[in-house]
Amino acid sequence: MEESNQLKSVLPPLGSVPLAGCPSRVVLDHVMSKWGFLVLVALAGRTLRWGELRRTVEGVSEKMLAQTLQTLERDGLVHREALPVVPPHVEYRLTELGDGLVAHMLPLAAWLLEHAPAIVSGEAAASATVAVAAAG
């Protein structure tokens, strides 16, 4: 019960958003960017090398993958390990902090996969219009 009250004291009231200067806005920008989100989800529960990560996150350029990984590493969400072998071998995995974040992101990813086809095709908007007209 005490933990629940502590959590409530940290969360903003429902429907409000953090102020412009709030550090959470910076983190939100990093983790919810197109590539940040996809990289974090791709690393869920596994360690990947650069090439594996690039193939998993289809469409990302080398430049954007490098920038995204550097940002997420700097934020403490991704760990980069360069192994002392030839040829160079670099692995990426989530940190404990990253694991905690991704646990919250995976339900959103599942929701997106389920609803994206209808949203993109316009069916969701059409259904909403019909529902509003029927209610009116």
pTM for the model = 0.80
**How would you write the pLDDT of the chain (136 residues) with one tens digit per residue?**
455 555 556 666 777 888 888 888 899 999 999 999 999 999 999 999 999 999 999 999 999 999 999 999 999 999 999 999 988 899 999 999 999 999 999 999 999 999 999 888 887 666 666 555 566 5
Buried b (16+ CB within 10 A) or exposed e, 22-57: eeeeeeeebbebebbbbbbbbbeeeebebeebbeeb
- Domain spans of the chain, in order of start: 18-104
Distance CA 60, CA 19 (A): 31
The CATH class that applies to domain 18-104 reads mainly alpha
SS3 49: strand
